[in-house]
Structure 1
Amino acid sequence: MTTESLAEPTMRVRPGWTVAVVLANVGVFAAWFGPIQVLLAKQSEALAPDNKEFVFGLVTGIGAAVSVVAAPIWGAVSDRTTSRFGRRMPWTLGGALGAAAGLLVLSGAQGVALMLVGWCLVQLFGNAVLAAQTATVPDRVPVEQRGVVGGWVAVAQVPGALVGTALATVFGGIAVGYIACAIFVVLSVLPYVARAQDARLVVAPAFVLRDFLRGFWISPRRYPDFGWAWLTRFLFNVGNSIGLLYLFYYLQDEVGVPDAGTSVLVLTAIYSVCTLVTAIAFGAWSDRLGRRKIFVVASGLVMAVAAVVLAFWPTWPGAVLGAIVLGIGFGVYLSVDFALITEVLPNAVDRAKDLGVINIANSLPQVIAPVIAAPIVKHLGGYPVLYLLSAVITALAGVLVGKVRSVK
């Protein structure tokens, strides 16, 4: 087994490599957020106008369940890949092609069953891209550069959400929106594929099914900092997911905007700009100070304020203010949390698999969110209660990051 692919990196990466990795991440998040923010909501309403929340929650929830399983498995497969092209590049390209196929299925779906098939394919293969790409950071980037590079990679979901929402909105039709997202996700990975230069793993670790399955359990007693990092990310994403899942319907039914799709795009653009500005600034600041936790704590409290604004001021100006505050807080979180997580990984051999386990904390909340959000919106107080619950969970996540001991 070559040690080059497993050694802690010491050479700083160049901007061109970072741009290629970020663009690949933007592509997969565009493939996810274009449907989540607009297309799946519109399609659910078109297929079941009287039961749109249930259909939308069913499709996104089952898709997220696929993501929960797929993320760590793709990571483990990537860690063991001995292709002459490296461990990460084959799954980046193959995953993009598979996700595009799922989007094309969605573009022609005329029933809920085919929606489920298409969305599950997008989640399944999108996670292959994400697992490979997130692992490239600890593979190639030295610790002292991870706040900046990791921040850029983590924040890729923000322009990804903006691009995906734009592709889903500007073309007007549901089918065309899916096709546009499919084309973009394939194009987005090509710069990385062209210049990946992944270190090759000559001999894969021995495969024993029982040990392979056991590897997905990372004991919080043996690795407590990993456990706390997982829990805080999980709570951050639960808070975000229950607040943002029904944003389209919140704007349409609670705020009363005339065009919810365009309004989602406008809010996403405002949120994206605020997130990018703060992520760039705070990622570099975190590297200079050598501190991570204080930034994550602050971000949780700021994001909770945004949810409170949405709960008590359900107007268009309130939604704009909420997007600004949320963007500021989320930018700080994204720029620093990914760097923190790469510093608590148990070992170099299983980087992608361990990051896949971390990514469960991103996808599992999408399974839980519809179960929590749908009854609250329908029967237990509506959107004010939903956003107050989001605020409490997000603030708690920020506080609990203090439990991580090995990172300042």
Structure 2
Amino acid sequence: MTADRPAEPLAGGGSGCDGSGCGDAGGRAVGGRAVGAAWVGALALANLGVWVGWFGPLQLLLARQAELLAPDHKASVLALVTGAGAAVSMVSNPVFGALSDRTTARAGRRIPWVAGGVAGGAAGLLLLGRASSTAAVTAGWCLVQLALNAAFAALTAAVPDQVPVRQRGLVGGWLGVSQVAGILLGTALAAGAGTVAAGYAACAASAVLCALPYLLMRRDTRLAPADRPAFRLRDIPAGLRIDPRRNPDFGWAWLTRFLMNLSYSVSTMYLLYYLTDAVHYRGDADEGVLVLTALNACTLLATVVLGGIRSDRTGRRKAYVIGSGLVISAATLLLAAWQTWTGAIVASLVLGAGFGVYTSVDFALLTDVLPTAEDHGRDLGIINIANALPQVLAPVIAAPVVARLGGYPALYLLAALLALAGSVLVRRIRSVP
């Protein structure tokens, strides 16, 4: 591995050639020097901080606030808050990605957005800790989503910017490790802080501290002002459209990721209520969620880097994505059919194993089908709509299913069918083996 280095200019014409590999017509970094372990570690740590900022609230804190504000309508309040935040996320991620593609700061294209996004996200988390109404919680969560998506868009775009194709699975694996570690740490901070306000403060501090090594390393690609692509705000809606006729593989990759994330959102958004209302967990439900998250993390960590490495070595992506999707579908079927604490434990272990492989290999697959080298941030932002849109749709779908269409067995059967569809449709991607 090579030594890490500070920001380097892009070659003329915005070609995406930056010393760690040049982008081809499809946006891939071809050949080039391998990225160093220190940079990968700092990138993963910064990513971990973003996920702490998201999932401490999503796993426990927002649900507890909804329960305190409206105990008789907690599910509806939670759906309102998370749905509004996800809508903000869905729009802001590709917009900030496009802005970072065109940033000409001396520090680089991505680093300024990481710094500003993490700072804004921390401020939003602290405001959430003081919120005392549904409107205030909704506004605070939207601010957190807006800011952290700026950071996340820049962090993910750094991978196709600087990582050659032969390392994408490996880097995707470590990003997967940081994702699950962030979810676990965020859940632990939320459960162990004592109060909702203290939980938000702990998540805010973690997000800032985790970003510091990446920011201090100052390794980024730099864009000369003369090479900056044109950008007008009124062009944003057109830029966010996917044309499946021109880029069919990009379209299929988006759809399959959307289906898998919708399955995951349907499965996890009501996990706290699943334990209390279906499993009738006898202990502290917060601790129960933490235990299940930790078990999920154990099997995910056991498979996420290994799956990425195996995919890099074989040069194959689709088989790993399809197989992992089938495992995820099996895990959600367990939650539907075996509504006991033991069943929840087994399902969490199986779910982690499936998502470990899926997280690393599908990320590598996505970076392999990006349409252009000049718009990595925007294109990955469009892909990230497939992460955010399910958070908007999941409560709309889940609430009536739980209340009127069969309860939790029907909810987790639906999650299994969504994961199965996402797995099968991966076969439609032609340019990736």
* TM-score bin, normalised by smaller chain: over 0.9
Matched residues in 2 for 1:110 and 1:380: separation? 33
Task: Give CA-to-partner distance per residue, 1:179-234, whole Å, 9 cap, x none.
Answer: 00011111111000011321210122123444444222231110000000000000
1:335 lines up with 2:343 in the alignment: no
Do the aligned partners of 1:303 and 1:391 also contact (CA within 8 Å) in 2? yes
1:70 lines up with 2:92 in the alignment: yes
Q: Secondary structure at the match of 2:72?
A: coil
Matched residues in 2 for 1:182 and 1:209: separation? 31
2:253 aligned residue: 229
Task: Give CA-to-partner distance per residue, 1:53-80, whole Å, 9 cap, x none.
Answer: 0000110001000001001000001100
2:103 aligned residue: 81
Q: Which runs of 5+ in 2 are unaligned?
A: 1-8, 23-28
Task: From 7, 10, 22, give the equivalent of 1:2.
Answer: 10
Query: What is the Cα-based RMSD across aligned positions, in Å?
Result: 1.2
Q: Secondary structure at the match of 2:230?
A: coil
2:25 aligned residue: none
2:41 aligned residue: 19
Matched residues in 2 for 1:331 and 1:206: separation? 39
Letter matched to residue 2 of structure 1:
L
Map 1:75-114 to 2 at 5 A.
75-114=97-136
Deviates more, 1:276-285 or 1:82-91: 276-285
Q: Secondary structure at the match of 1:51?
A: helix
Task: From 413, 416, 420, give the equivalent of 1:388.
Answer: 413
TM-score scaled by length of structure 1: 0.98
Matched residues in 2 for 1:118 and 1:208: separation? 28
Matched residues in 1 for 2:172 and 2:307: separation? 12
Task: From 205, 230, 239, give the equivalent of 1:206.
Answer: 230
Map 1:245-264 to 2 at 5 A.
245-257=269-281, 258-264=283-289
Deviates more, 1:16-25 or 1:251-260: 251-260
Matched residues in 2 for 1:404 and 1:291: separation? 12
Do the aligned partners of 1:252 and 1:259 also contact (CA within 8 Å) in 2? no
Matched residues in 1 for 2:236 and 2:392: separation? 25
Letter matched to residue 337 of structure 1:
D
Matched residues in 2 for 1:252 and 1:356: separation? 36
Task: From 335, 338, 355, give the equivalent of 1:310.
Answer: 335
Task: From 156, 166, 173, give the equivalent of 2:178.
Answer: 156
TM-score scaled by length of structure 2: 0.93
Task: Give CA-to-partner distance per residue, 1:94-139, whole Å, 9 cap, x none.
Answer: 0000001110111001110100011001100010011000001101
Q: Report the CA distance between 1:380 and its aligned residue.
A: 1.1
Matched residues in 1 for 2:306 and 2:58: separation? 29
1:289 lines up with 2:314 in the alignment: yes
Task: Give CA-to-partner distance per residue, 1:217-274, whole Å, 9 cap, x none.
Answer: 2311100000000000000001111111100110111111121110111111110111
Matched residues in 2 for 1:212 and 1:260: separation? 43
2:3 aligned residue: none
Task: Give CA-to-partner distance per residue, 1:337-392, whole Å, 9 cap, x none.
Answer: 00000010011100010000000000000000000001111111110000000001
Do the aligned partners of 1:155 and 1:334 also contact (CA within 8 Å) in 2? no
Q: Which runs of 5+ in 1 are unaligned?
A: none
Matched residues in 2 for 1:217 and 1:57: separation? 27
State the number of aligned residues: 408
